[in-house]
Structure 1
Amino acid sequence: MRLSPAWQRTTRLAFVSLGLLAALAGCGGDEVTVVPQKIAVGASPNGIAVRAADGAVFITDDQTSSVLSSPDGRTFAHYASVPVVAGQSNSLSQLSFADASTLMIERFGFGTASAVFSITGADTIAALSGPDPARRRLGLISIGSNRLLSTWFIKNGSNPPQGGLSLITYDPTAHTAAERDLLSGLGKPVGIAVSGDALYVSDQANNDIVKASLSALLGGSQAVVPSGTFVQINSPDLMAVDANGTLYTKCNATGLCRIAPDGTISVLANDFQDARGVAVDAPRGRLYAIDRAAGASGTSYVRTFPLN
């Protein structure tokens, strides 16, 4: 079959384009990487973290009470099991890197068995003794020097939830920890993000995000009530912040929003089943977000967005 001149030109252009992509992929410093936008995972994920050194992605899985890992955010496999509580549903919270290799994770605990664990390698996990197991834990972030910030709330019967933010200082060798409250008077605090001295906490019960000075809280002698709301936003969840101070979190029923340092809110995507954990991969210019299936029979995803 003889191709028309127009088809011949189109074919040549296609081969040139493919050859250019291959050449660029082989050049040092000019590698062409196709970033996945939506990857299905056989898990019930919530928290997510990215290892800055190599871009490896870690997610929690409530189906198996474990952490899964992927070298590139595409294919996930078992990394570490988190101890389960007999007769209690599995519910794991946020993941946070304490250093280049140590992951910290929380078990929600449903009012009786919350816990904070350190994971120093594949299936190498230890619980920290000291944090109050009656506190239902959701958000977690490392602030260095063996210190963590943890959001929590207590729920008694039909009473509204009462929550706060605490500082957990731990010994990584003895696995002991002391907990001190920094913020009080919150409803159901979930996500935590720190940008410079600015501390942000999302409160699902009050549909807002509060802001405080981290240094002032750490230097105080007792917990304080937030002085005001940074932004009002529906259904915020776990959070992440980029190098420019822009926050990312769930908004409304199906949205994922970004919040500029001046409080301006914009919708990044509005087709999520249930946005949960978010993580910034600054070296590779990506934002990862958990899109959790609404039901047990649905499919959950890890989604990626380019950072501006």
Structure 2
Amino acid sequence: MKLKLSRDDLAFRLHNRADTKLIVAMINKDQHHMLHGYTAEKFEQDLDEPSERIRENTFIVELANKMVGYFSLCFVERETHISVYCYATVDMDWRRRGIGSAMFAYIFDHLQHAAQQGNKPIHFIHRALTSIPGETALGVNLDMEVQNCLQIMCLDDWSRAIQDIQPNGFRFRSPQLEDASSWAEIYNDAFGGNKTAVSVIHEFQGVEFSPELYLMGVDEKGTPVGLICATNRGNHARIPTLAVKREWQRHGVGRALLSEMLRGLRAAGALDVRLSVESRNEAAQALYTQCGFEPEYQRIHYSTIFSKI
């Protein structure tokens, strides 16, 4: 029986660049981790996402000077509050020992202090994968509310993946830096987000940007109306974003973008592809199912609020 650890058994300190390779190795040890195939260069780039204060809120968790986990907190300014997302992992060899609970106790204290110092309440979101034992239990045990649920879907049977359907006058092209504002506009229109051109340029200039894995769909006038992007690490691909302007939805644009991207991923040697979709978005789930994607596991978003007492 593994002995449980408490917060007092662990040391927490700010990340420094010398930790990065160890963090990436810890992430890649888990073949099922959503970031499997991560590189040190990509990790460092992500810490410098504009206006999200990630580098100054990335911590190492140690037991007797041995790294057993890490977490990064991403602060996103909203009009009425600050959303904080957490990227974290516990070393596979140290899971189910109470380290995750200790990390969350530290995070909660850190965010309560930040809320006391700031002018807006903080909405913390814990993204728990049902494929990793204990992650959903953390949200439940800490009395966090379920905010929403994403279905992770996987394509590994390519027989239905690629469909030659393209709306009249519609074409694909790779985005350029000057398309950053249009990329952000499409994303925000589709998802109600607050992505900025600055953050898009940061992404386009990043180590994983590839013209073949980023596509914009434009109408007959050349106006961007949809977008899709992907990563392909070790022949295991992910599609983090597929977005279509609302006025162009249900016109076959999403299907055309998805099919074109799958064609490129298949040619690049991808063995399987994963993406996530809101569990309530039945239309999108139907599209992915028609293209050969099958449900694999879920990502449940739990939330809690910190404000001035």
Normalised by the size of structure 1, how large is the TM-score? Answer: 0.25
Bigger RCO of structures 1 and 2 (CA < 8 A, at least 6 apart): 2
**Structure with more strand by fraction:** 1
Give the structure with the higher percent helix: 2
TM-score of the superposed pair, with normalisation by structure 2:
0.25
Higher Cα Rg, which structure? 1
